Every structure is written in C-alpha cells, then in structure tokens.
Amino acid sequence: MKRFMAVLVLVGLMMVAPPVSFAGQMNTGCGVGTMIMKGHDGLLFQVLAVTTNGILGNQTFGITTGTVDCKKATSFAMNERLNTYVAQNMDNLANDIAKGQGEYLNTLAVLMEVPETGRDTFYSKLQNNFGAIYPSSNVTSADVLKNIETLM
C-alpha cells in the first residue's frame, strides 16, 4: 500500500510541477495533442501530446494541409521523387519545356501536384521562362527545381 501511494504522489507531482530538465522543451511535433498540451511543459505532458497525436493520426494530415498547428512545406524541391525525376530526365525535360508540351513536362506537373485545370498555364509559364529555368548548359537539377519554384 505504501508503494502504491508513493507512485500516486510521484505521478501527481509530475502533473503539477514539471521536472526542470524538461521545462520549455516540446518534442511532440504538431497535431491536436500538441495543441491541447500547449503551455504545459514536462515529460508527462509531452507523452500525453504524442500519444494523442498518435491515436488520432493527425500529424500527416496536418503537415499535408498546413493545419492543426503544422506548417505545410513551402518548397516542392524537398520532394525526393521530384528531385530524382528531374535529375534523371534533365535533357528530355528541357526539350519538353522548350516546346511547352510533352510527356516529361506532364510528369513534372503530376509530381508537382499541378491541378489538371492549371496545367496549360503551367506549361506556358515554363516555356516562356525557359532561359531562366535552364540558364546554361551546365545547370544542375537542383538549380532547375529552384528556378521553377521561383517562377511559381
């Protein structure tokens, strides 16, 4: 019985007075659990926030949509598939951008999640700015993506 009471008091103290070593440290990412526990530091509150986020499975949704206290990615250049695609198809993509149409340009639009209704505008914009996207013959795929991002 003494052991049970000691554990109960310890848990109560963790809830009331967060340990100093965890004060100001929020390792829970974003999500509903993090929002609920905002302003409460301490190991117990972090565990509760992470558990709530995990049970609700809301972090992926939040990151994708920029909701529930998550930040939506501002750069599509971080997309590994997109980086790989552009790196492996630099010449073909350059040809399609110069023409303003083509299979490689269409795949780029799909990977960049350009809505079908806006693709003609997207293709025209890239074609009209070909020189800014491919400023030299030794441009890198990372530069191409940055240049496209700048146009968007």
Q: What is the pLDDT of residues 10-68, one digit of tens each?
A: 555 555 444 444 444 457 777 777 788 788 777 777 787 778 777 877 776 676 677 77
In order of 12, 42, 43, 60, the CA distances from 78 in angstroms are: 44, 33, 32, 16
End-to-end CA distance of the chain: 66
Please tell me the pTM assigned to this model. Answer: 0.51
Per-domain boundaries in the chain: 2-65, 76-151
Distance CA 140, CA 134 (A): 9
Question: Which among 40, 49, 47 has a CA at the least distance from the CA of 17?
Answer: 40
For the chain, count helices (H), then strands (E): 10, 0
Mean local confidence (pLDDT), 127-141:
93
Orientation angle between helical segments 119-128 and 103-111, nearest 10 degrees: 110
Q: Which tens digits make up the pLDDT trace of 113-125?
A: 899 999 999 999 9
Mean local confidence (pLDDT), 95-105:
95
Burial 45-56 (b: 16+ CB within 10 A, else e): bbebbbebbeee
